[in-house]
Amino acid sequence: MHDLFTRGILPNGQLRPPREQAPELYQKTAIGWIPKDWSPTSLCNLVGASNIINGPFGSDLLTSELRAEGIPVLYVQDIKAGFFSRVSNSHVTDQKANELAFCNVKRDDVLVAKVGSPPCDSCVYDSEERAIVTQDVIRIRPGMNINPTYLAAQLNSTYGRKAIKRISIEGTRERVSLTEFKNLVFPIASLDEQLLMGRRIEAIQRHIANELNKCRKLRLQKLGLMQDLLTGKVAVKIQPENSPEPEALI
């Protein structure tokens, strides 16, 4: 990830040589050394201010308006760095979602946790189901010039974390201001390069997701085995110390 967002990928699919080896491929900018084909761009200029919003405030969405079924409501806990994984179970009616159309979410929107330790974990919304975000979630709607996977990974990258840390507000829960977030400047690659980088990032994320799924299944299996052992459903064979018997059944 560090190499991808400091060196990028050449058309042949290889990483650019480091600046020390090929200084002619890089340029010095206000945000540091970046590849010559990249440009420093604020999020606001990249996607448009109106496409970076957070959820409804105060009376716009009351607890009494939440339902067990309907249009999903997305919270901070549904956003992981690089992964969308819904664990919340709140919904609103279609009518309420229509009233809150400004904070609706659709597939390929980028979701950002406005609070957290650290704040601004980001992921791409990969569901076909319409949803709405809450106050502590930022929704970015990328245009045709930006790859969603690339943008979310840029926010999660080392550079992104450092930029976000500079605007973080300390408190009970570390957070960022939406206004300052919109003005963050990132080194943005061309769309073709974004797509190349996005494909690599997606491959890595699929691998991680598969490994996490295996880990979850093994933990469940372990819990089941421990339950069987502790309740005596499974006999445990051990070799008693200094026993001439080959093994004893406990």
CATH number at residue 156: 3.90.220.20
134 Cβ contact partners less than 8 Å away, ≥ 6 residues apart: 55, 56, 61, 73, 74, 75, 76
pLDDT at 249 over 50: no
Whether 136 maps to a domain, the answer reads: yes
Give the helix ranges, DSSP H, for 101-187: 148-156, 158-167, 178-182
Average pLDDT over residues 62-73: 95
Tens-place pLDDT, residues 105-144: 999 999 999 999 999 999 999 999 999 999 999 999 999 9
Instruction: Reply yes or no on whether the pLDDT at 236 is more than 80.
Output: no
Please report whether residue 146 resides in a domain. Answer: yes
Q: What is the rounded average pLDDT of the residues 7-31? A: 94
Q: Is the dihedral of CA 209, 75, 99, 65 positive or negative?
A: positive
Least confident of 99-103, 169-173, 201-205, 240-244: 240-244
Q: Which pLDDT does position 243 carry in this prediction? A: 61
233 is a domain residue: no
The answer on pLDDT for 246 being more than 60 is no
How confident is the model at residue 209, as a pLDDT? 84
Instruction: Classify residue 124: in a domain, yes or no.
Output: yes
Q: Which pair of structure tokens corresponds to residue 37?
A: 């084909």
What element of type H or E holds 220? Answer: helix 191-230
Residue 211 lies in a domain: no
At 242, is the pLDDT very low, low, confident or very high (cuts 50, 70, 90)? low
- Amino acid identity, residue 112? V
Q: Where residue 172 falls among pLDDT bands split at 50, 70, 90?
A: confident
How is residue 74 written in tokens? 């997305």
What is the total count of domains within the chain?
1
Q: Are 63 and 44 in contact (CB under 8 A)?
A: no
- pTM > 0.75: yes or no: yes
Q: What distance in Å separates the CA atoms of residue 204 and residue 224, rounded to the nearest whole number? A: 31
Q: Is residue 229 part of a domain?
A: no
237 Cβ contact partners less than 8 Å away, ≥ 6 residues apart: 247, 248, 249, 250
In a domain, 6, yes or no: no
Judge whether residue 194 has pLDDT over 70. yes
- Whether 126 maps to a domain, the answer reads yes
Give the pLDDT mean for 179-186. Answer: 97
Domain range for 90 is: 39-188
